[in-house]
Structure 1
Amino acid sequence: MTTASVTPTLAPLTGVSVLVVDDLEQNRKLMHAVLEPRGFVVRSEPSGAAALHALTETDVDVVLLDVLMPEMDGYETCARIKADPRTALLPVVMVTASGTQERLRALEVGADDFITKPFDQAELMARVRSLARVKRLHATVLEQAAALERWNTELESRVEAQVEDLQRLNRLRRFLSPQIAGLILESGDESFLESHRRDITTVFTDLRGFTAFAETAEPEETTSVLREYHAVLGELVFAYEGTLEHFAGDGLMVFFNDPPPCPDAPERAVRMALAMRDRVDELAASWRRRGHDLGFGVGIAQGYATLGRVGFEGRWDYAAIGTVTNVAARLCAAAAARQVLISPRVRAGLDGRFETRSLGPLELRGIARPLEVHEVLGLSDDASTPKEEA
C-alpha cells in the first residue's frame, strides 16, 4: 500500500475499531499512522487466516483488507467473513488496484466498498467513517431487535399467565365472590378445593308461593321475576363475601367460614338475610302490581360439613355436604313470608345484637329430633348498620 497525498486532519471518530489485513508490514504501519491519530483503534494482521482468527476473539467496526496476499488472498478472506453468520454484516473495504475486473470481483465476494491504490487519505477516512456508522447503526438495530424479541417473549409469557389466571378466576367465580376469587388467584392456592371438614354457617332462601306462580304464569314472566330476584340476591351474596353454593329456581344456598375464615359467620349470615329480605320486599311490591303474590323465607343453621369440589371435567361446583345444610333447608321450608328462622347455634353467635323470638321446638322433615327454632325480627336498636363490603 502507498499514499499519494497528505490531507487535512479530519474530525476524530473515537472508539471505532478497524482491522487492517495486509501481508506487508510497512503497509500495516502506514494504516496505523493514518488512522490512530484520528481516534481509531487499529489492529493489524499479516494474513487472511490470522484475520479470521482475530475476528473470533474481538469485535471490530470495519475491516480494511488487501487483495494481494499469499496463501489466502483478500477475495477468499472476504468470502469467509461474509459466510460466517457472526461477521456476515461486518463492513469490509477491499484495497485493490485500479482495474475494473478486481473491483467487480470484490463486490461479488461481498465487499461493501473498495479503495484503489494509491489511496487518498480523505477518501479512506470518509469511507471508513461511513461504514463504521452503518455498522454501529446496524448493531443498534440488532440490539433493539433482540430487546424487542425478549420483550415479546416476556409479553407472551405474561399473556399466557394472565390467560391462565383469567381461566382460574372464571372457574372460581362460579361459586366464589369476586373478592375471594381474587385473593385465591393472587395466592395461587387452590388447595381448598380438595375435600375438607369445616364448621360453617349455611343460609337457604326461597320464595313463598313460587310453585303456584310458576304453574300459572307465562314462562317469560317467570324468567323475568327470577332474573330480578337473582340479581338482588347475588349482589348481596358478594357484598357480604359469602360462598354461593348454588341457585336452583327460586332457591339459593350460601355459606360462610369457607373457604376464607369468617369469625363472625352467624352475624354476617343473619345481616345478609335481613338485607335480602328488605330488598325482596321492594321487588315483591312491584310483583304485586303485576298480579304476583310472592313472599321470601330464609333458614340459617350452623354446624360441620364436608366441603370441596364436586362434578366432572368441564363442570365443577364447590359444595357443602352435611346435616347443617339439611337443617338450613328445612328451616327455610318452615319459614313463612318474611321470616328468617335460625338454629340454636346461630342464635348463640349473635350475642344479643339482634331482636329474636323463640318459636319453641319444631319438628323438621328429615331431622330426627325436634329443633329449638328462633325467628330473627331485626337488628336491636343499638346495633350497627349492616357490614356490607364494597
Structure 2
Amino acid sequence: MTATILFVDDEPDLEALVLQKFRKQIRDGSVTIMFARDGVEALQSLEQNPHVDMVVSDINMPRMDGLSLLAKLQEADDKKSTIILSAYGDMSNIRTAMNRGAFDFLTKPIDFADLEMTIEKTIRHIEMLREVRRRQTEAERAHAALSRHFSPELAKRLAAGGESEGIEVQWRDIATIFTDITGFTSLVESAPPETLGALLNEYVGGMTKIVFTHEGTVAKIIGDAIQVLFNAPGDQPDYATRAVACAHELDAWAEDFSARWKPRGVNFGTTRIGIHAGPALVGNFGGNRFFDYTAYGDSINIAARLEAANKHLGTRICVSAGIAEAAENFRGRPVGELMLRGRSEALRAFEPLTPAQFAAPETALYSEAFAKMEAGDAAAMPAFAALVGMHAGDSLAGFHLKRLLNGDKGIRMQLE
C-alpha cells in the first residue's frame, strides 16, 4: 500500500528535513507526505483528504495543541493512527497521549531511524485494520444476502465460515414446500397499492418467520409464492418431519391472517401448500455478482404440481407418499394416485391432518369410504355421499363423490 502521512508541527525546518529523510520512499511511491502547522490546520487538511492513513503530531503548537488534536481524531468515525512527538522526559504528556488513543510516541529531537521504524510498524497496523474491516464488510454483506434465505443463526454461521462454505452447488436429498394463494392476481388488480404493499409484506414476513423457526431455507419468493427447502444447506435427518410441521403452522397462520384482513374488506384467499421429497441440485446459482440459493430438479417440479393439485382436490395441503412415509408420526388421509401434468407415472398423495383432525370420527369414515373406492366396491359412492351429507365442508370427500358420480372408478386420477 501507499501510506499517506500527515505531519503536524510548527517547526519551520521540519518539512524540509522530513522530505529529505524520506525521499527514497516518496520517490518509489510507498509514502506520500503532507504537512500542517497546528491542530486546526490538520483537521482542515484531513477533511479535504480523508484518505490520510496516519498522523505524526507534535504536542506544543499554536491554536490547537497535539493532545487536543488527538482527542478530536479519536472522536471521528474514521480514527487515524497517530504517533505523538514529545520532548524527552515529558512523561505526563506522553501518558495523556497514550490514554487518549495514540498508537505510539517518539521523543524529540527526532531520531529519524526510529521514526522510520515506527512508521513501518504503524503501516503494518493500518494494513491489519484494513484487512479486518474488509473481512467484516464481506461478512456483513454475506450475512445480508444469506439472511434472505436462512434463519438468523444459520446465516451467521454461514457468513462466519465464508461465502462458499456449505452453499456450493451439489446434489442433495431435500424436502420442498411450495405455497401459493388463490385469487391473488385479482387482488393485485383491485387492491390499492398501499394496501397491497402492507398486506404482502405482513404475509411474507409472517410466513418466512415460521419457516426460519423450523430452520427451513427460503429458496424463492415470487410475489405471493414461496418455495422452502429442508435438509439444505445443512444436514437435517428429520427433514420430512420438519416440512410437515412447518406446513401445518404455515397453514394455520395463513388462515388466521386471511381472517384478520377480511373485516377490512380484503378477500385474501386461501394459501395452498405442496410438499415432496427427493434429490435436487441445490446451491448458489447467482454467480459471482449475485447470491441466489435455490434448487432445481424433478422433485422441485413435483412439489409445485402438488401445490397446484390442491385447487382440484379442495385441500389446502397435499404431500407425496415419500413425505408421508418419512415423516415421524405422520397423520393424514389418502388422496389417491395423482397423474400430475408432465409425468407418466402416478404419484400417491396424502392430505396431512392435525392430531385433532385425525382423531375426528369423520376421518375414520373417510378412510372406510376410500378403502371401498380403492377396492372398486360399488359401496364407495353411498359411503362418500353419507360423509358429505354429514360434513358438507369436506371438500376432498366431495371431490371423490363427484368423480364417482361422473363414472370414474378407483383412486387414480388425472389432474390438469
Residues 122-161 of structure 1: pairs in structure 2 closer than 5 A: 133-134=89-90, 145-147=102-104, 149=122, 155-161=129-135
Query: Aligned partners of 1:262, 1:276: CA distance in 2, in Å?
Result: 19
What is the aligned partner in structure 2 of residue 358 from structure 1?
334
Shift of 1:139: 7.3
What is the aligned partner in structure 1 of residue 108 from structure 2?
none
Query: Aligned partners of 1:360, 1:220: CA distance in 2, in Å?
Result: 42
Residues 50-199 of structure 1: pairs in structure 2 closer than 5 A: 133-134=89-90, 145-147=102-104, 149=122, 155-188=129-162, 190-199=164-173
What is the aligned partner in structure 2 of residue 205 from structure 1?
179
Counterpart code for 1:225: L
What is the aligned partner in structure 2 of residue 339 from structure 1?
316
Q: 1:226 aligns with which of 200, 206, 231?
A: 200
Q: Secondary structure at the match of 2:203?
A: helix
Q: What root-mean-square deviation, in Å, do the aligned CA atoms of Structure 1 and Structure 2 show?
A: 3.2
Q: 1:374 aligns with which of 336, 340, 350?
A: 350
Shift of 1:133: 3.2
Query: Aligned partners of 1:330, 1:264: CA distance in 2, in Å?
Result: 23
Shift of 1:267: 0.7
Shift of 1:381: 9.2
Shift of 1:273: 0.8
Q: 1:294 aligns with which of 269, 294, 310?
A: 269
Structure number with greater Rg is 1
Q: 1:242 aligns with which of 209, 216, 231?
A: 216
Shift of 1:221: 3.2
CA distance 1:267–1:84, change in 2 (3 Å): closer
CA distance 1:348–1:177, change in 2 (3 Å): same
Query: Aligned partners of 1:219, 1:141: CA distance in 2, in Å?
Result: 60
Q: Secondary structure at the match of 1:244?
A: strand
Shift of 1:146: 4.1
8 Å Cα contact 2:319/2:350 also seen in 1: yes
Shift of 1:334: 1.1
8 Å Cα contact 1:277/1:338 also seen in 2: no
8 Å Cα contact 2:181/2:272 also seen in 1: yes
Shift of 1:223: 2.8
Counterpart code for 1:253: Q
Counterpart code for 1:300: I
Q: Secondary structure at the match of 1:192?
A: coil
What is the aligned partner in structure 1 of residue 291 from structure 2?
316
Q: Secondary structure at the match of 2:291?
A: strand
Q: Secondary structure at the match of 1:324?
A: helix
8 Å Cα contact 1:339/1:376 also seen in 2: no
CA distance 1:342–1:153, change in 2 (3 Å): same
Identical columns (%): 30
Counterpart code for 2:274: G
Deviates more, 1:250-259 or 1:163-172: 163-172
Considering Cα pairs closer than 8 Å and 6+ residues apart, tell me whether 1 or 2 has the greater RCO. 1
Number of corresponding residues: 255
Shift of 1:207: 0.9
TM superposition score normalised by structure 2: 0.55
Query: Aligned partners of 2:190, 2:167: CA distance in 1, in Å?
Result: 41
Q: Secondary structure at the match of 1:299?
A: strand
Is residue 330 from structure 1 mapped to residue 305 from structure 2 by the alignment?
A: yes
Shift of 1:241: 1.2
Shift of 1:145: 4.0
Q: 1:349 aligns with which of 314, 321, 326?
A: 326
Query: Aligned partners of 1:84, 1:187: CA distance in 2, in Å?
Result: 45
Query: Aligned partners of 1:220, 1:357: CA distance in 2, in Å?
Result: 41
Shift of 1:156: 4.1
Shift of 1:350: 1.8
Query: Aligned partners of 2:161, 2:132: CA distance in 1, in Å?
Result: 17
Note the alpha carbon deviations across 1:319-351, whole angstroms, 9 max, x for none: 200011101000001114662111111001123
Shift of 1:84: 9.3
Is residue 275 from structure 1 mapped to residue 249 from structure 2 by the alignment?
A: yes
TM superposition score normalised by structure 1: 0.58
Q: Secondary structure at the match of 1:283?
A: helix
Q: Which runs of 5+ in 2 are unaligned?
A: 1-19, 23-86, 106-121, 360-416
CA distance 1:84–1:276, change in 2 (3 Å): closer
What is the aligned partner in structure 1 of residue 113 from structure 2?
none
8 Å Cα contact 2:270/2:316 also seen in 1: no
Shift of 1:308: 1.9
Shift of 1:160: 2.7
Q: Secondary structure at the match of 1:175?
A: coil
Shift of 1:142: 8.9
Counterpart code for 2:341: R
8 Å Cα contact 1:287/1:294 also seen in 2: no
Query: Aligned partners of 2:21, 2:272: CA distance in 1, in Å?
Result: 82
Shift of 1:154: 5.1
Q: Secondary structure at the match of 2:186?
A: helix
